């Protein structure tokens, strides 16, 4: 059951003050996502941009970047942190309600956001908004299935401990931050990667769907040029 947008908005407004750019399971894979983006493009869209960390990376390659997020507090912080990059525009918006212009973006990216909505509802909208030859990049969490994922999770715990030592936080996590993430996590629902692959085979022929060790999967798809 997907959580209503108002609840997600409130939860991420509470999480926003604690959102830094320190190492985490999402930005660990930013380089992998960027490896699929040409060095120079005209326009990019970051859905669920949060405080704008990935949008700022895209802005080094794109003439124009738009970041959207449900949380006004996330957008406020994103604007502050991106003040030196005038080619980024941020907007409070729900991608399911926002009117995306057809064939307008060379790259559409979403990091840890699409699990909040039905993929069969949002993916067709994103494909229409991509230019022919444009690339869709998704990084998100997934629900474990089978012994292989249990073994992968055991390895992930060891790797998390290793990377956490390499990138220590400047201070212990505040209790308010733990409570904010716990409140959000209690309502999160993640897809099985097998289901993502079946859907991608229908909606995004040729998409690359890959499991990564740190509890994430990626979907990379290039829109055909007809």
Please name the residue that has the structure tokens 């290793």. 162
| Tens digit of each residue's pLDDT (9 = 90 or more) over 50-68 | 999 999 999 999 999 999 9
DSSP 8-state code for residue 172: P
Check residue 122 and give its pLDDT.
97
Q: Band the pLDDT of 181: cuts 50, 70, 90.
A: confident
Check residue 198 and give its pLDDT.
98
For β-strands 62-69 and 105-111, DSSP reports them as: unpaired
What span, in angstroms and rounded, lies between the C-alpha atoms of 14 and 130? 32
What span, in angstroms and rounded, lies between the C-alpha atoms of 15 and 221? 30
E strand map for the chain = 41-47, 62-69, 88-92, 105-111, 130-141, 208-212, 216-222
**For the purposes of burial, counting CB atoms within 10 Å of the CB of 105, is it exposed (0-12), middle (13-18) or buried (19 or more)?**
buried
The percentage of the chain sitting over the pLDDT mark of 90, rounded to a whole number, equals 87
Q: Are 176 and 97 in contact (CB under 8 A)?
A: no
The yes-or-no verdict on residue 170 having pLDDT over 80 is no
What span, in angstroms and rounded, lies between the C-alpha atoms of 223 and 123? 12
| Tens digit of each residue's pLDDT (9 = 90 or more) over 84-143 | 999 999 999 999 999 999 999 999 999 999 999 999 999 999 999 999 999 999 999 999
Number of domains composing the chain? 1
**Across the chain, what does the average pLDDT equal?**
95
| Tens digit of each residue's pLDDT (9 = 90 or more) over 14-42 | 999 999 889 999 999 999 999 999 999 99
CATH number, domain at 144?
3.40.50.150
Q: Band the pLDDT of 185: cuts 50, 70, 90.
A: confident
The yes-or-no verdict on residue 45 having pLDDT over 80 is yes
Domain range for 57: 5-222
Check residue 149 and give its pLDDT.
94
The yes-or-no verdict on residue 162 having pLDDT over 90 is yes
**Residues near 89 by Cβ (< 8 Å), separated by ≥ 6?**
64, 65, 66, 67
User: What's the average model confidence in pLDDT over 174-183?
Assistant: 85
pTM: 0.95
**Residues near 1 by Cβ (< 8 Å), separated by ≥ 6?**
189
Q: N- to C-terminal Cα distance for the chain?
A: 37
Check residue 182 and give its pLDDT.
85
Check residue 145 and give its pLDDT.
94
């Amino acid at each position: 059951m997907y959580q209503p947008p108002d609840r997600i908005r409130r939860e991420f407004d509470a999480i926003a003050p604690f959102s830094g750019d320190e190492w985490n399971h999402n930005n660990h894979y930013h380089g992998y996502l960027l490896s699929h983006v040409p060095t120079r493009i005209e326009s990019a869209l970051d859905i669920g941009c949060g405080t704008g960390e990935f949008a700022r990376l895209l802005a080094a390659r794109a003439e124009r970047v738009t970041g959207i997020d449900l949380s006004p507090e996330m957008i406020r912080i994103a604007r502050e942190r991106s003040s030196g990059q005038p080619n980024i525009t941020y907007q409070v918006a729900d991608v399911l309600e926002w009117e995306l212009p057809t064939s307008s973006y060379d790259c559409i990216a979403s990091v840890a956001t699409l699990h909040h909505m039905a993929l069969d509802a949002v993916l067709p909208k994103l494909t229409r908004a991509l230019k022919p030859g444009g690339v869709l990049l998704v990084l998100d969490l997934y629900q474990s299935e089978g012994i292989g994922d249990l073994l992968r999770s055991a390895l992930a715990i060891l790797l998390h401990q290793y990377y956490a030592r390499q990138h220590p936080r400047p201070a212990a996590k505040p209790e308010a931050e733990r409570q904010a993430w716990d409140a959000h996590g209690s309502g999160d629902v993640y897809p099985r990667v097998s289901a993502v692959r079946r859907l991608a085979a229908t909606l995004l022929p040729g998409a690359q769907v890959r499991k990564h060790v740190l509890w994430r999967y990626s979907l990379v798809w290039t829109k055909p040029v007809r």
